[in-house]
Structure 1
């Protein structure tokens, strides 16, 4: 799975691109979010580093959708960081589970 396929999947699964205006995520991070329960959000964050592209998946509790990308979450319930290309199969499985 490559970055373009990931972005296409996120868009088709009704994730909304969120502006990163806070300091919790690194500068240049691209955030996609979808509410899965009241004020509980599934986030995919793509961080561009000089050497590698890092994808992070989170389930987190925020005050509201508008808090994402501006404030730290109230609670992080799940976190997965993918830095190696070999680890993308976990990401693909997680995307499939999240859709069910």
Structure 2
């Protein structure tokens, strides 16, 4: 499959701390943001930030639109539901284990 048309796994996309920070920045904004507003938040150049945004786009976590000569980015939180669902199982697992431990300690 052509690499440029391949969809990335959401878990792979959020595994990197830079991409998680990009997600946070986009989530905190009420509007879509251009690359030049995102780049100052990182100790890397525009090209590197752009590559991270591409990974997020491939996982459908970010959508972009052209406005004049600039590309603006916005968070698409939908795919994060997969992560939330996966974590919910483990939250239930650990809550049950904590309850069992509490009962043992009370005995």
Common topology (TM > 0.5): no
- TM normalised by structure 1 equals 0.26
Higher strand share: 1
Higher helix share: 2
Structure number with greater Rg is 2
Q: Which has the higher contact order (CA 8 A, sep 6+)?
A: 2
